[in-house]
Chain A
Amino acid sequence: MAVRILLGAALVTIVLAVFFTAAHPGPLRDLILVLALVVALALAAFLAPTLGPPAQPGTDEKSASEGGSLGFDDIIDALPVGVLTIGADGRIGVFNTAAGEIFGVASSRAGGRALIEIVRNSELDRRVSGSLRNGTAQTAEIVHSGAAERRLLVTTRPLNGDPRSGVVVIVSDQTRMRELEALRREFVSNVSHELRTPLTAVKLMVETLQSGVDQTAREQFLRSMADETERMIALVEDLLDLARLESGKLELRLSEVDVADLCRQAVQAQRARAQSGQIDLVCSTSEERLVIAADRDKLYQVVINLLDNALRHTPPEGTVTLRATRENGELAIEVADTGTGIPSSALPHIFERFFVVDPARTRGHSGTGLGLAIVKHIIEAHGGTIVARSELGAGSIFRCVLPA
């Protein structure tokens, strides 16, 4: 608009000059005409670059391809990775929302502060200083101990290829990926161990049988081989069960199930193991019969898995109690132990597959970490819930509630 006004004014000046000189002929006329022409040409030369199609309503006059400020900050802030810029003076310029979440700092507090004041990580500080000093780009995984420990992939790079312009830092949180990798490694190791132990035993027994033994030893070995084979089959079935549960392909075969009787049978099945571990195994039910609609085999698996877990984590002279009660129209199955307990940091993960609290704390083999994951899936498939409470050094309680 301003351009058009100036052009209009220039044209009016020229027209007035022409009329004036026409009305007043003389030597002054030529001078005024020349001056008017010069002014018009100067204005044209000055304004030419700005002449062009008018701006569309609602857009910036600067073209979007030039990366105008409009939207760029929003783009940076929307990125799922942390983005920081550090000036040559060591002060933070950009500090996006993702960076704030990763480092546990409000983004609004970061601008203009030194990096070490906002993110107290000596490794990150050292790498940024290195990039500022040497102009080198580097990528590394670092550990950041804030409220929680995180593993971060950090890339530092000079801005515009010149460290005097500052450094840009890209931060990606790898914590969950590393946890999953560790879980996978532990699972593979556990499954391998669980399979290798019985396979080794079977191999030894086969070799011994092949070398020739008496009838009594032959029968004993064959029984042991059958037991070990059953153990391996049970492990593989657990894995397949879990895969079916997680894919939603489990079909419950519902029938009337007497949970009190089921609990008594489960306790009987674990009695010998409890006695060999000098653990007192107790069963109590609020009624002689507690009948609900359920898949008997799956519910039996739940109780066995919970008892197995409790017995594994209870030291000698401890107690494991299985309780089944009907309350408020629901059926509760509770397994309580006086064992080692579960650290509060592990409690939220206890039903995750492959999760083992601490193999060093369990008696005997640590298991595959699948038992409680299977229990949770089965209970939830029945429309129920399961919770775990624990106190380190005092024991744990696992409580399943099923619709009755």
Chain B
Amino acid sequence: MGREDFHRILDETQQNVLRMGSLVEEAITKAVDALTRNDVKLAEEIMRADDYIDDLNVLIETNCLNLLALQQPMASDLRTIAAMLDIIIDLERIGDHACDIAQITKNLANEPQLKPLVDIPLMAAKAREMLRESLDAFSHRDANIAHAVPQKDDEVDRLYRKVFAELIQFMAKDPKAIGRASNLLLVALYLERIADHSTNICERVVYMVEGVPKKLKRSVIDFDQAIAHSDEIMQTGTASEQAAGS
């Protein structure tokens, strides 16, 4: 393989990472859409499409390993290949989370809706925005974008704590709601994890561009605080504040 072939394969592999990213972005959008509209057919379509994401994952990994083994890349090319190998792991996990949300749509298909979904679509929009910008950072090799994305994780975590508190209250008030509420808790957790994976992608981009591994800002969910907040809500009985919550 000559040097021209190396750069051609490297370019194609980067494009495939972006293709995989695009499919994953669409999967999240459709998964939350299916959940909001209780659309089982769309949920099944998302689960079928995950096979293509997995195939791309294998293709990209194979190309990267071949390049490493056969070309002994150096400096920025080496960092790019290493970054891609990590990024596709995060993208593949995000794709799996989209499938998990689609599965929950199927699980809840025949159950009455607990409440209109409000905060979960907001979380999804924010997580999707983080993923889109992290892929923009990769595409344009822009470390500035990569540094800015993790700052948005705070908003996702705030929404997660709110959803957590409200669903805990639902479960406490009505044991029959535990099944539905815990499924929605999982959805919120998956969206929070998608935001974290986007931060991971940004860390890889920063390493790729600046050559130095860095841990970027991310907040940690304090579950004790979230539960305590839920208790406070139950004590004050501000049910109307929670009515349109999740």
Contact = CB atoms under 8 A, between A and B. Distances in A.
A125 B240 contact: no
B26 interface: yes
B169 interface: no
25 contacts: A116-B15, A117-B14, A117-B15, A117-B18, A117-B139, A118-B139, A120-B22, A120-B25, A120-B132, A121-B22, A122-B22, A125-B22, A145-B25, A145-B26, A145-B29, A145-B132, A147-B129, A315-B240, A317-B239, A340-B243, A361-B116, A361-B244, A392-B118, A393-B244, A394-B241
A343 interface: yes
Contact of A116 (B22, B118, B242): B22
Nearest to A91: B11
B19 interface: yes
Contacts of B132: 120, 145-146
Contact of B243 (A117, A147, A393): A393
B244 A120 contact: no
B135 interface: yes
Interface string A104-143: 0000010000101110111001000000000000000000
Secondary structure of the A contact surface, majority rule: loop
B240 A116 contact: no
Contact of A122 (B11, B26, B135, B140): B26
A82 interface: no
Contacts of B19: 116, 122, 125
Interface in B1-28: 11, 14-15, 18-19, 21-23, 25-26
A282 to B, nearest CB: 16
Contacts of A122: 19, 22-23, 26
Interface of B: 11, 14-15, 18-19, 21-23, 25-26, 29, 116, 118, 128-129, 132, 135, 139-140, 239-245
A384 interface: no
A385 to B, nearest CB: 28
A109 B140 CA distance: 9
A109 B139 CA distance: 11
Given A117-B15, A317-B240, 12 more contacts: A114-B15, A120-B22, A120-B132, A120-B135, A120-B139, A122-B19, A125-B19, A145-B29, A318-B240, A341-B244, A393-B118, A394-B241
Contacts of A97: none
Contacts of A315: 240, 243
Contacts of B244: 340-341, 361, 392-393
Interface residues of A, number: 27
A96 interface: no
A75 interface: no
Interface string A314-327: 01011000000000
B116 A360 contact: yes
Nearest to B28: A145
Nearest to A145: B29
A85 interface: no
Nearest to B140: A109
A66 interface: no
Contacts of A149: 29
A341 to B, nearest CB: 6
Task: List 3 tightest A-B contacts by C-beta distance, closest first.
Answer: A340-B244, A120-B22, A122-B22
Interface string A135-170: 000000000011101000000000000000000000
A368 interface: no
B21 A120 contact: yes
B118 A343 contact: yes
A190 interface: no
Contacts of A61: none
A120 B18 contact: yes
A392 B244 CA distance: 7
B33 to A, nearest CB: 10
A204 to B, nearest CB: 29
Contacts of A146: 132
A360 B115 CA distance: 10
Nearest to B18: A116
B204 to A, nearest CB: 17
A74 interface: no
Contacts of A341: 244
A360 B118 CA distance: 12
Contacts of B11: 114
A358 interface: yes
Nearest to A146: B132
Interface in A291-323: 315, 317-318
A102 to B, nearest CB: 16
A114 B19 CA distance: 11
A114 B12 CA distance: 9
Contact of B241 (A109, A120, A125, A393): A393
A114 B13 CA distance: 12
B60 to A, nearest CB: 13
A358 B29 contact: no
A360 B37 CA distance: 11
A199 B156 CA distance: 48
Interface string A332-368: 0000001011010000000000000010110000000
Nearest to A313: B244
A122 B15 CA distance: 11
Contacts of B139: 117-118, 120
A147 B239 CA distance: 34
Contacts of A147: 129
Interface in A74-110: 90, 109
B112 to A, nearest CB: 12
Nearest to B128: A145
A338 to B, nearest CB: 6
A358 B128 CA distance: 23
Contacts of A109: 140
Contacts of B22: 116, 120-122, 125
A145 B26 CA distance: 8
Nearest to A360: B116
